[in-house]
Amino acid sequence: PFAQQNYGTNVVKGRAKLMTKGSDAAGKTRVVVKLSGLNPGTTHIGHIHGGTCVSLTPGQIFHNLEAIVANSSGEGTSNTEVPEGMQGFADCGWWVAFHEGDINTAPQSPAIAVGPVIMHGHAHD
């Protein structure tokens, strides 16, 4: 479920960019996520979840991402290096999700922004 009670439908917008660090796709990956439409001053935890092109797998967290703290304009950025490269990466194998709230909970707080990682035709083998 999305955090529509506090944010409404299609209020939070964002983009995630994944970049291979160095010339070897088997190395590390930098994950930069930018969100807008947040309530100023709020903090949001994020993860890379597993999944398929149909849906993410709730609870299957591959990597924690740096939290986003919204500035006075309701915008924020997360910049995280994960110890996994993009070699052999399959579209939709990872999903980026940011949640309402600043701590991990069980069950997890509702997502405010979520989407699959797709290579958009770039070579990734």
- Reported as a single tens digit per residue, the pLDDT across 96-116 is 999 988 877 766 678 888 888
pTM for the whole thing?
Answer: 0.82
Question: So what's the architecture of 4-116 in CATH?
Answer: Sandwich (2.60)
Whether 67 and 45 have beta carbons less than 8 Å apart is answered as: yes
- pLDDT per residue over 7-61, tens digit each? 666 689 999 999 887 666 667 889 999 999 999 999 999 999 988 888 877 778 8
| Structural element, H or E, at residue 76 | strand 76-82
Tokens of 2: 């999305």
Percent of the chain with pLDDT over 70: 79
With 90 as the cut, is the pLDDT of residue 76 above it? yes
With 50 as the cut, is the pLDDT of residue 2 above it? no
